[in-house]
Amino acid sequence: MVTFEVSHEFHSVPFHKTSADTIPFSGSDQVLELASVAPFGFDGRMATGCYDAVIVGGGPGGSTAATYLARAGKRVLVLEKEHFPRFHIGESLLPYNQRIFKEMGVLPELEAAGFAKKFGAQFHLGNASKALKLVFSNGCYTREAMAFQVERAKFDQILLQHARKSGAEVREGWTVTRFSRETDGVAVTARDEAGNTETFKGAFLIDASGRANLTGNQENLRVGHPRLKKLALFGHFEGVGLDSGPTATDIIIVRLPDKWFWLIPLSSTRTSVGCVMDQADFSKAGLTPAEMFRSCWQSSTELRSRLGMATALMPIQTTGDFSYHNRRLVGPRLLRVGDAAGFMDPIFSAGVYLAMDSGRLAAVAVGKSLKAGDDGRRRLARYERRVFAAMGLYWEMVEAFYTQPFMDIFMQPRPKFKVPDAIVALLAGELEGGWKLTWRRRLFFLFVKAQSRWPLVPRLWPGEGRVLNPKAAASPAVAK
């Protein structure tokens, strides 16, 4: 049996710092205050042609920050290296995303786009011996019950377009190559597709460059997770075996001993399917991505029943999936949001939500600093604490997910002290539930710890999942 270890040292600093302050949603004083800040609120010492904020990257994190600031009358520039729509992985959102959509004013457009609606999440063992079906609305601490599952090309384009409509200047096809600090602001150097280089200045810089991690790399702040060196293989499929009825659009996670699969229904005919595995195992196997992908799902009873009749709609793609965070999320007049702050294994689908949540918080910190006419040092420090705290909640879950005791307790919830409800709330995106959620989460991890020594629930075995004869398993068939 494979055993898993939990890293205690990695996430202990700085993720477990907590912050008491909260920024409530719609109607909140702080967000409304941001909306009332006069345009060009920076103290005017910047030369003409300077922006209140320059944002690198037009993904969900960048678009969110841009929308909030532009709606507050700020002069915002977004530099995005691609032209949208463009493919992006990361398709299952969390229910609490809805609040941000509402506040940004983009919800009607997203509803009109007809994205699939997810009401729950399912976790299955690869050998089909156990399944856990979570319904968001059943959790007594969960205040949002539905999330979209999206094709990111379309979703990201709607968000970026919304930022533009809100008043942000968006330049697509511009790659930022570096940033530098000025006396009262930040400058970035960017190159267009014709090779022309220009410098843009802003009172603040928001790095939303995703896993490209522009400023974190430039400042050498990136800390890779010592063990979560993963790789993802994925594609879109037709004919995947899903439930019928209200759970038909659930995200399905299938856990094999040393890897896991996602099945994300995007429409009635298109399902995103992906496998996250150790990069080293992929390299060792010497298979093509399509061969590896096929041999992995064929090794599982649960996946054979779901993918046996599926047809690939695109070639299997790969992407590195290394978890990391930056040691600092802020610097003088600089804030990192979303994946540019840190990226974690996507098992709990929190990436887009955390990117948008941090984009929103970054906009609030910048908006208030512009209003005060200062560099916002204390607000940026508070921003950093809040974002580390939010990331830390999911990191703890992600690291534990690869351990046997976590799977035992997680897959066999006991309705004691409403602990499972607190976990469901977190999986829906509840970051501000206060002490009543915190102590239940701590108790959950105490159960996990105890399980490793004195089993509280029967030990599970995800079973199967080993590629015994990769070449044979990789022979051509329907779902490549």
Ligand X SMILES: Cc1cc2nc3c(=O)[nH]c(=O)nc-3n(C[C@H](O)[C@H](O)[C@H](O)COP(=O)(O)OP(=O)(O)OC[C@H]3O[C@@H](n4cnc5c(N)ncnc54)[C@H](O)[C@@H]3O)c2cc1C
> What is the binding site for ligand X (CB under 6 A)?
56-62, 79-82, 88-93, 175-176, 208-212, 214, 232, 274, 319, 321, 338-340, 346, 349-353, 355
- Identify any residues that bridge with 185 across adjacent strands, giving them in sequence order: 182
User: With respect to ligand X, which residue has the nearer C-beta, 267 or 412?
Assistant: 267
User: With respect to ligand X, which residue has the nearer C-beta, 7 or 175?
Assistant: 175
Q: Work out the angle between the directed axes of helices 351-372 and 377-401 (0-180°, nearest 10).
A: 170
Task: State the minimum distance, in angstroms, from the CB of residue 79 to ligand X.
Answer: 5
Under DSSP, the state recorded for 92 is B
Contact 88, 425 (CB under 8 A): no
Task: State the minimum distance, in angstroms, from the CB of residue 418 to ligand X.
Answer: 26
User: With respect to ligand X, which residue has the nearer C-beta, 79 or 292?
Assistant: 79
Burial class (CB in 10 A: 0-12, 13-18, 19+), 14: middle
User: With respect to ligand X, which residue has the nearer C-beta, 210 or 463?
Assistant: 210
**Residues listed for the chain:** 480
Task: State the minimum distance, in angstroms, from the CB of residue 409 to ligand X.
Answer: 23
User: With respect to ligand X, which residue has the nearer C-beta, 81 or 325?
Assistant: 81
Task: State the minimum distance, in angstroms, from the CB of residue 192 to ligand X.
Answer: 11
For the CA atoms of 28, 29, 31, 36, the dihedral, rounded to the nearest 10 degrees, stands at 140
Task: State the minimum distance, in angstroms, from the CB of residue 456 to ligand X.
Answer: 30
Contact 225, 373 (CB under 8 A): no
Task: State the minimum distance, in angstroms, from the CB of residue 393 to ligand X.
Answer: 14
Per-residue CA distances from 189 to 54, 176, 370 (Å): 11, 6, 23
Closest CA to 120 of 400, 437, 432, 427: 427
Per-residue CA distances from 254 to 36, 353, 403, 408 (Å): 47, 22, 15, 14
Cβ partners under 8 Å of residue 192, min gap 6: 171, 173, 174, 198
Neighbour count for residue 7 (Cβ, 10 Å): 16
User: With respect to ligand X, which residue has the nearer C-beta, 156 or 396?
Assistant: 156
Cis peptide before 257 (omega within 30 of 0): no
User: With respect to ligand X, which residue has the nearer C-beta, 185 or 210?
Assistant: 210
Task: State the minimum distance, in angstroms, from the CB of residue 74 to ligand X.
Answer: 19
C-alpha span between 26 and 103 (Å, rounded): 6
Task: State the minimum distance, in angstroms, from the CB of residue 63 to ligand X.
Answer: 7
User: With respect to ligand X, which residue has the nearer C-beta, 58 or 120?
Assistant: 58
